[in-house]
């Protein structure tokens, strides 16, 4: 929203995340705006006045971010199969596709393909962390390239990439939350299929690979609003399959949440979610 202050000065107010119900929301950090009918040679002053984090790297307009959509280009030698296949992980609450890319050397035999370990890469669970899409784009561009190291990686591993875990949040212009008004990165241990479909199905993929003993590495790409440079966080212990009691508790919580939700979006989403069994998820 723009508010005329005086003369050629305007205050720009960023919108809060749609449906955000968190107690301490810090979601007014992502901005995107355009100017119409500006007069040539006239100076305009635009003030972004409601940043929720004073120490944010974006507070002084050092960086202006735009939503990024992933794409890649490659040139194949004659007779060689494409090293990348696009498939569907699931649908979101609004029916958006949550796509998954599989990258490997598909020219290998079925026996060799079935023995390869998997590397799972996910990104953009927080819509405003657009730099995560830059890194995911770079990963895709490299992995499908003719670089000798990329070729070797494709011969050794199967890469599963989910470039955008929160498409609804990106489409809505949210900074951190999903269309259900929650931080999806806090739902990995309690993902509900009807409310957090992308996390639910991403975790199902990871669990299937763990059960098969074929998960070599998983990487979740984020951005940071106040830390500089690139850095890694490691987490242990390894993903553990929930007990029967934990599965029953999660199922009961999902049923209670679905009954209480009552929103039109949630009701519509139930019929749209993609169902994939473990064998389909593991299929190259």
Which has the closest alpha carbon to 208: 248, 243, 165, 241? Answer: 241
Question: CA 217, 130, 57: angle at the middle one, nearest 5?
Answer: 110
Residues 6+ apart with CB under 8 A from 152: none
Give the three-state DSSP class for 148.
Answer: helix
Question: CA 144, 213, 85: angle at the middle one, nearest 5?
Answer: 25
Band of pLDDT at residue 202, cut at 50, 70 and 90: very high
The dihedral through the CA atoms of 106, 109, 114, 118 has a sign that is negative
- pLDDT attached to residue 271: 39
Residue 284 has pLDDT above 90, yes or no: no
pLDDT digits (tens, 9 = 90+) for 50-98: 666 555 555 444 344 333 333 444 455 566 788 999 999 999 999 999 9
Residue 183 maps to a domain: yes
Q: CATH no. for residue 144?
A: 3.40.630.10
State mean pLDDT over 214-228. Answer: 88
pLDDT digits (tens, 9 = 90+) for 126-143: 998 888 998 999 999 999
- pLDDT attached to residue 257: 58
What percentage of the chain carries pLDDT values higher than 70? 68
Residue 110 has pLDDT above 70, yes or no: yes
Residue 43 maps to a domain: no
Cα(45)–Cα(62) distance, integer angstroms? 16
Helices (H) and strands (E) in the chain, counts: 8, 8
State mean pLDDT over 147-165. Answer: 95
Which has the closest alpha carbon to 237: 201, 269, 259, 210? Answer: 210
- pLDDT attached to residue 72: 42
Residue 269 maps to a domain: yes
Residue 254 maps to a domain: yes
State mean pLDDT over 91-115. Answer: 93
- pLDDT attached to residue 221: 93
- pLDDT attached to residue 165: 95
Residue 211 maps to a domain: yes
Which has the closest alpha carbon to 95: 264, 276, 272, 275? Answer: 272
Residue 39 maps to a domain: no
- pLDDT attached to residue 1: 74
Residue 36 maps to a domain: no
Cα(244)–Cα(131) distance, integer angstroms? 39
Residue whose structure tokens are 């992995």: 143
Residue 69 maps to a domain: no
Band of pLDDT at residue 249, cut at 50, 70 and 90: confident
Residue 24 has pLDDT above 80, yes or no: no
Residue 213 has pLDDT above 50, yes or no: yes
User: Which of the given ranges, 47-56, 215-224, 248-257, 263-272, has the highest pLDDT on average?
Assistant: 215-224
Q: How many CA atoms lie within 13 A of 128 on its CB side?
A: 25
Q: Report the predicted TM-score, pTM, of the whole model to 2 decimal places.
A: 0.64
Cα(150)–Cα(147) distance, integer angstroms? 5
pLDDT digits (tens, 9 = 90+) for 182-200: 999 999 998 999 999 999 9
State mean pLDDT over 155-173. Answer: 93
State mean pLDDT over 20-40. Answer: 65
Which residues span the domain enclosing 275?
A: 84-282
- pLDDT attached to residue 277: 42
- pLDDT attached to residue 166: 95
Domain count for the chain: 1
């Amino acid at each position: 929203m723009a508010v005329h202050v005086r003369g050629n000065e305007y205050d720009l107010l960023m919108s809060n995340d749609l449906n955000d119900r968190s107690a301490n929301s810090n979601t007014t950090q992502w901005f995107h705006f355009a100017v119409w009918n500006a007069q040539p040679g006239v100076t305009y002053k635009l003030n972004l006045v409601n940043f929720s984090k004073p120490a944010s790297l974006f507070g002084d307009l050092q960086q202006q971010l735009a939503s990024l959509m992933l794409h890649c280009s490659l040139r194949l030698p004659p007779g060689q199969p494409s090293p990348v296949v696009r498939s569907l992980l699931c649908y979101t609450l609004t029916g958006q596709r949550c796509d998954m890319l599989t990258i490997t050397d598909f020219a290998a035999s079925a026996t060799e393909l079935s023995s390869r370990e998997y590397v799972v890469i996910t990104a953009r669970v927080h819509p405003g962390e657009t730099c995560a899409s830059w890194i995911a784009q770079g990963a895709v561009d490299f992995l499908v390239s003719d670089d000798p190291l990329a070729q070797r990686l494709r011969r050794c591993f199967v890469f599963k990439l989910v470039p955008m875990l929160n498409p609804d949040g990106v489409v809505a212009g949210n900074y951190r939350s999903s269309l259900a008004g929650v931080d999806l990165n806090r739902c990995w241990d309690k993902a509900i299929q009807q409310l957090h479909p992308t996390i639910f199905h991403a975790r199902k993929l990871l669990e299937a690979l763990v059960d098969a003993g074929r998960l070599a590495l998983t990487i979740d790409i984020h951005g940071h609003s106040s830390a500089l440079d690139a850095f890694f966080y490691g987490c242990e212990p390894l993903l553990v399959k929930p007990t029967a009691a934990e599965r029953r508790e999660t199922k009961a919580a999902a049923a209670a949440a679905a009954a209480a939700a009552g929103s039109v979006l949630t009701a519509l989403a139930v019929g749209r979610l993609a169902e994939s069994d473990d064998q389909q998820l593991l299929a190259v």
